[in-house]
Amino acid sequence: MIQPLIYWFRQDLRLSDLPGLQAAGDRPIIPVFIYDTAAADRWAPGGASRWWLHHSLAALASDIEALGGRLLVYAGDTGEILAHLADTTGAAAIHCSRAYEPWAAHLEREIHQRFAGSACELKRFPGSLLFEPEQIANQSGEPFKVFTPFWKACRRQPAPGTPKPPPEAGAFLAGTALPDAAGIEALELLPTRPNWAAGWESHWQPGSRGALARLERFLTTGINDYSDGRDRPALDVTSRLSPHIHFGEVSPRQVWHAATAAACAEEQLSKFLSELGWREFSYHLLHHFPTIPETAFKTQFAEFPWLGKREHLAAWQQGQTGYPIVDAGMRQLWQTGYMHNRVRMVVASFLTKHLLLPWQAGEDWFWDTLVDADLASNACSWQWVAGSGADAAPYFRIFNPTAQGEKFDGEGEYVRHWVPEVAGLPNKYLHAPWTAPDEVLAAAGLTLGVDYPQPLVDHKQARQAALDAYGEIRKAG
């Protein structure tokens, strides 16, 4: 009898283009997922990620069942569970995809040591990135700290390999021959009291089928206007693939090859691929600088005078800042688990540079509320906006939320949808309600300070306070 092989699913919840599955050969595969919050510690999945994970696991389980297998789902210590499974099934090996979070890399080393010298060995495979972090280096052999030369170095590499097909029917060990498991429901990933994710199924379809459908839709309707349209939050132009890619329901290689095969202009394709590049750059940084989710990449920012008021953080989280484009983004986030990328930059700049609250506070909120919460991308993006990160935005780049709203949501479709209190205002005043004359406010049925808040801070004063604080850092540096 051929010994089975354990496939340990992690952030690769798919069956297509999975090198570790392909490498199983003729061995029957035992598919396993382990929810190990202790290993992740403070970076255990947030609420929105748990919602997505539940549905993604259900989709994966269904795909495996269609091939005659059964996904084993456990909660607990990963090393102990894998060791128990190896003993009870007589597995010849454990395969997994590489993960890059510091805790995940530590877990891989720990499990490799646990099985060293045993009859069952751990084999790790690539599959979550286009290029492994060690593969890309500057001329000195050091990691890149600036995106543009990093991405140019990536583009000089051979193109990512052709995606591989999923296993055939019969590749998985029959469900009746498998040990007992806790099951997805036992993980208690879904919110109940209250169910703040009610209706999210109308926005998202977690799982590989949903990922491929989203990719196809984007490549037929969105990519042709991507370069310019991606900055306009009212338009359905962005791919919205980020949660699917984060959970590994579709591989970056699949996205790359599908995009390059699409009928679109080179300018649009290049811009979209560069967004995949930003994800690669974030993981490059996380791998080489693993403290980046916790501490400022530019060390002088450790002493930054975050002088903001904690009550302002709650107003920002609730979409009650008095700046409609900021509030629209924060409400979209809470109601859908997602926020348009342009608006993410605006709200992040507002928190760090208008309210002078630490970027870690925003990072934590996004970690809990985004369905695409990704340690590398989240940390690096927040540091980029705050000015403390690699290749960061200049310290003096402080988004004017009014101007951003007028430029990218000129007709107000986005703001009117998410901030209905101001929907009756003419476009001229929509992004700055406090500038509207009394008769305009009355005609719109709007009383500032009652129906909608006055601005938390004055833009000019807040901008100058931020410049003064950043000036102190420049002197210290």
> Across the beta sheet with 121-125, what order do the strands follow?
72-75, 29-35, 5-9, 93-97, 121-125
- CA dist 29 and 167 (Å) reads 10
Judge whether 275 counts as a catalytic residue.
Answer: yes
Active site residue 103: no
Q: Which among 200, 204, 316, 359 is annotated as catalytic?
A: 359
| Whether 201 is catalytic | no
Tokens representing 15 are 């069956």
Type of residue numbered 34: I
Angle at 286 between CA 281 and CA 292, to 5 degrees: 115
Of the residues 275, 334, 406, 434, only one is catalytic, namely: 275
What is the rounded distance in angstroms from the CA atom of residue 384 to the CA atom of residue 89? 47
Which of the following is catalytic: 43, 382, 384, 418?
382
Quick check: is 334 catalytic? no
- Sign of the torsion formed by the C-alpha atoms of 367, 373, 374 and 377: negative
- The pair of structure tokens assigned to 76 is 């607990």
Q: Has 341 been annotated as catalytic?
A: yes
Q: Which of 71, 4, 70, 8 is nearest to 39 (CA)?
A: 8
Per annotation, catalytic residue among 132, 196, 224, 278: 278
Amino acid at 417: H
Closest CA to 238 of 251, 248, 249, 224: 224
Q: Is 52 a catalytic residue?
A: no
> Which is the catalytic residue, given 121, 334, 341, 406?
341
Q: Within 10 Å of residue 169's Cβ, how many Cβ atoms? A: 10
- Residue 30 tokens read as 């035992």
- Residue 18's alpha-carbon distances to 129, 427, 456, in angstroms, are 12, 49, 49
Grouping H, G, I as helix, E, B as strand and the rest as coil, residue 188 is: coil
CA distance 365 to 94: 35
Task: Please identify which of the residues 196, 224, 306, 334 carries the catalytic annotation.
Answer: 306
Catalytic positions, written as ranges: 275, 278, 306, 341, 359, 382
